[in-house]
Amino acid sequence: MYFKISNTAKLKEIEQDVNALFKYPDLYTPQVVISGLTEVSIPIVTMNEPNFVNLAIWGLLPGNFNEDWELFQKLTNTLTIPAHKLDADIWYHESFMKSRCIIPVTGFFTSVLKNGEIYPYHISCKKGGILYLAGIYTILDDGFITCSILTGPLEREVVNYQNLVDYMPVIIDRNDKCDWFSGDTSVERTKEIMQPPHQTDLKIRPIARNLFNNDISYDSMLMPYEYPEN
């Protein structure tokens, strides 16, 4: 469901917002729509380097994985991971304990099924600017970073704009950023940070469904769109 995000912020905007510098600034480009269905890198800020914005491959891989990203994603899609599974004795549990990150975005997308058709919506920060999505990451043997967005219960603003699944990306409030990054934060506190409601107010607006569903991407596609049905 959540395999598309939006990041239209300029490099300096992200750096100022997260209080960290891009490690490889020449590699960052703002994008209206970023699709994780093909191998793509997105900005993240990690526990082990909180003063830098790194680029990570979207789609978590085990640290010792030596084969292709595409092969792994066909076997088990890790663009998102449900927060309620992080306690399980599974390979990404250690990332939750020791390798948490925030993924700065300007928006993400949700959909409503109505009268047999899909209507997409763009979700952003009500005050504008950047949202912090909760994530976990791994560092591969070759030094590349991979990441996944954590998903959890719906925020109150989203409930009426989503009926295909009952989860959404977990938002990290700014005043919880330090605790999220700290290795001294208890598991209980980490779980508490992920639970809604969050203080970050969300803005939800419809976008043109034909353009979005056809994977067409250009600047004006995020403009509000009034459906004739409404």
User: Confidence band (pLDDT; 50, 70, 90) for 230?
Assistant: very low
H helix runs in 61-153, sequence order: 69-75, 93-98
Helices (H), the chain: 11-18, 69-75, 93-98, 177-181, 187-194, 209-213
Please give the pLDDT value at position 226: 73
Domains and CATH numbers, the chain: 4-222 (3.90.1680.10)
Q: pLDDT, tens digit, for every residue of 161-201?
A: 999 999 999 999 999 999 999 999 999 999 999 999 999 99
Q: Label residue 71 exposed, middle or buried (CB < 10 Å: 0-12, 13-18, 19+).
A: exposed
pTM of this prediction?
Answer: 0.93
Of residues 90 and 53, more confidently modeled: 53
Q: So what's the pLDDT on residue 24? A: 95
pLDDT given at position 213 = 64
Q: How far is CA 19 from CA 24, 50, 131, 136, in A?
A: 15, 9, 14, 19
Q: Between these two residues, 149 and 208, which has the higher pLDDT value?
A: 149
Chain-centroid distance of CA 130 in Å reads 11
Task: State what percent of residues in the chain have pLDDT above 90.
Answer: 75
Scored b (16 or more CB within 10 A) or e, 176-203 reads bbebbbeeebeeeebeebbeeebebebe
Strand stretches in 47-144, DSSP E: 52-58, 80-82, 100-105, 107-114, 117-125, 131-139
